[in-house]
Structure 1
Amino acid sequence: MNKIKRSFYIIRDFFEIYLPLFAFIVMFLTFIIQIIARYIFKFPLTWAYEVTVIGFSWTVILGACYAMRSRSHVKFTLIYDMLSPKKAAFIRMLGNLIILFAFVALIVPSFEYVKFMDFQSTSVFKIKLSWIFSAFIYFVFSMIGYTAVEIYEDFCTIRGKTKQSLESGEQI
C-alpha cells in the first residue's frame, strides 16, 4: 500500500509541479527568443506564438491544481470569518458541495470536448488540440479530489472532530 501511495504522490507531483514548471520555462524562453528574433534580427518566428499559448495554458491549468492542493488560491472568507468555527465549516461545506457538483457535472462534457478536438491540429506543429486540452481533464479530477477533502474536513469540524483526532485514526 505504501508503494501505491508513493507512486500516486510522484504522479501527482509530476502533473502539478514539474509539468507546469517545464511548460513555464519553455514558454518564457520562447517568449525571450521571439523578442530577440523580432526586434533585433527583424525576423519574427511563426512557431513562437503557438508554443507560448500552449505553455501558458498548461501552466495555468495544472498550476491551479497545485494551488488548490497547497490551499494557496484566493478565497473570499469575509462572511464565514465572522462566524463560529462550526457555522463557518457548514457554510464552507455548502459552497464546496456546489463546487463539487459543478466539477462532477463537467466530467462527461470535458471528455467529449477533448475527443471532439481530436480532428483539429495546431497550425505550425500540427499537434492535436485534444492533447493540449487534455490537461483540463486532469484539472477536473484534481478539483473534485481536493474539494472532497475540504468537504470531509468541514464535516469533521461540524461533528466536533479535530485534525489531530482524525490523524490519530479516531472514528467519526
Structure 2
Amino acid sequence: MLRSLKPLGAWLARRAENVLVLMLGAMFAVFLVQIVFRYVFNLPIGWTHEISVLLWLWLVLFGAAFVTRESDEIRFDIIYGAVGPKARRVMAVVTAVPLIVLYTISLPAMADYVSFMKVERTAYLKLPFNWVYSIYIAFAVAAIVRYLWLCTQALRGKAPEAFDPTKAGSGV
C-alpha cells in the first residue's frame, strides 16, 4: 500500500516545489515593479509592498509545511552528530512530543482567529485577512503530522539520520 503511494507523494512534492518557485518568482517580479515605479517614475505604490509581504508569509509557511525535508531542518549538528542512534531517537521523541502538544493546543485558537479575521481586509488589495492567515492552519496541521510521523518512527526503533558533513549541500 505505502509503495503504491510513493510515486504520488513524489509527484505532489515536486508540485509543491513548483508552487514555491512561482511564489518566489512573483515576489521578485513585484519587487522589480516596486523599484521601477518608485525610482524611475517617482511614484511609490503600496500594493507591491503588500503583495511582497503576503508572498513572503506564504513562502515561509508553505515551504516549511510542504517542501522542507526533515534533513533540511536546522539542528545542533555538533551534538546531534556526536551521539548514537538511540540518543537520536530519544532526542527526536523529546522534540516531537512538545511540538505536537503545542501545535495541537494552538490549532483551535488559531482557527478561531483566522475565521474571525474575515471581517478585516488588507489595505490595498482588500483581501480578507482570513485568506492571508489561512496558510498557518495548513502549516500547523503539516507540522503535527510530520512530528507524529517522526515520533512514531523513533518509538518503533528507527533513528533519524545522523548528519553527514560530507553530504552537506545547498539542498539540491
Q: TM-score range by the shorter chain?
A: 0.7 to 0.9
- Corresponding position of 1:59: 59
One-letter amino acid matched to 1:36: V
Are the counterparts in 2 of residues 69 and 146 from structure 1 also a CA contact under 8 Å? Answer: no
Q: Residue 101 of structure 2 aligns with which residue? A: 101
Q: Structure 1 unaligned segments of length 5 or more: list them.
A: 161-172
The within-5 A match list for 1:28-107 is 28-107=28-107
**Paired residue type of 2:76:** F
- Contact kept, 8 Å, 1:89 with 1:157, in 2: the verdict is yes
Q: Which moved more, 1:113-122 or 1:16-25?
A: 16-25
Structure 1 counterpart of 2:137, one-letter code: I
Q: Shift of the alpha carbon at 1:76? A: 1.7
- Return the TM-score normalized by structure 2: 0.79
Q: 1:104 to 1:121 in 2, by over 3 A?
A: same
Alpha-carbon distance, 1:20 to partner: 2.6
Distance 1:145 1:134, change over 3 A: same
The answer for the alignment partner of 1:22 in structure 2 is: 22
CA RMSD after TM alignment: 2.5
Percent identity over the alignment is: 22
**Structure 2: segments with no counterpart, 5+ residues:** 160-172
Distance (whole Å) between structure 2 residues aligned to residue 107 and residue 30 of structure 1:
32
Residue in structure 2 matched with residue 165 of structure 1 by the alignment: none
The aligned length equals 157
